[in-house]
Amino acid sequence: MSQQLQGKVALVTGASSGIGEATAVALAEAGAAVAIGARRADRLAGLAQRLTDAGARVLTLDLDVTDEASCRAAVAATVSEFGGLDVLVNNAGVMLLGRINGADTTDWTRMVNTNVLGLMFMTHAALPHLVERKGAVVQMSSTAGRTVRAGTGVYNATKWGVNAFSESLRQEVYQDGVRVVVVEPGIVATELREHITDADAKASIVRSAESIRQLQPEDIANAVVWAVTQPAHVSVNEILVRPTDQGW
């Protein structure tokens, strides 16, 4: 891969698996120094070793995006280690599907805190540095931020929130040269659905996923790299990526 991001610095949240892991790899392959953040330190260590062995500059971050102080510390550590920040990828998220009636509302709190507030905290902490470097923020949304289905309402609400926040952000920072990219994947072969606590909802999404050719994390990572390596006058604001077989 060409070194289009040589000299750039990227921070990826939720980097211990799935889309976050693949995105960190892709950004490093494109030449960026990469800060990788997540709560699972063992998984991060393995990824960091692979990236280092491949010649990348890597920083591991013990990051809980639901904790604003942790978000500020992660950004500060990245800037201290690498001298700045050019790309923030807000990938950390959870998908705890289930019907509204009878729901375990602790799932709702967890989704809102991670998918919405966590993304906002990271964006807020990183923004001064992104303005300084005329960088980019990539928000990992979902097709659930565009289409609503029964049994996914609160997850939908978090992703619609991500999209609304990101468009407002874009209107605030475009004159500073900062680009805001919203990526909306369809079904991707990741661990995301393994954490669903509602048995019926989990079985339903697993059936749907297994019935189609799913996207791979690398498909989304490639889209992220493509967006952030466009010329400075080009701002790719929204990327919707579904599996060919996904009809919703």
- Render pLDDT for 137-190 as a digit per residue (tens, 0 to 9): 999 999 999 999 999 999 999 999 999 999 999 999 999 999 999 999 999 999
pLDDT above 60 (res 40): yes
Task: With a cut of 70, say whether residue 1 has pLDDT above it.
Answer: no
CB hemisphere CA count around 143 (13 angstroms): 14
User: Which H or E element spans position 156?
Assistant: helix 153-173
Angle of helix 217-228 relative to helix 18-29, nearest 10 degrees, comes to 50
C-alpha closest to that of 140 among 85, 180, 86, 196: 180
pTM score = 0.96
CA gyration radius, the chain:
17
Is 174 catalytic? The answer is no
Higher pLDDT, 235 or 195: 235
CATH architecture of the domain with range 9-240: 3-Layer(aba) Sandwich (3.40)
Amino acid type, 123: T
Average pLDDT over residues 194-216: 95
- The DSSP element (H or E) to which 238 belongs, if any, is strand 238-241
Average pLDDT over all residues of the chain: 97
| Alpha-carbon span 247 to 124, nearest angstrom | 35
Residue 131 predicted with pLDDT over 90: yes
CA 90 to CA 180: how far, in whole Å?
11
Q: What is the pLDDT of residue 138?
A: 99
Mean pLDDT to the nearest integer, 63-70: 99
User: In the sheet where 179-185 sits, what is the strand order?
Assistant: 58-62, 33-38, 9-13, 87-90, 136-140, 179-185, 238-241
Mean pLDDT of all residues in 213-222: 98
Q: Which of 82, 108, 121, 155 is catalytic?
A: 155
Report the pLDDT value the prediction gives residue 248, as an integer from 0 to 100: 86
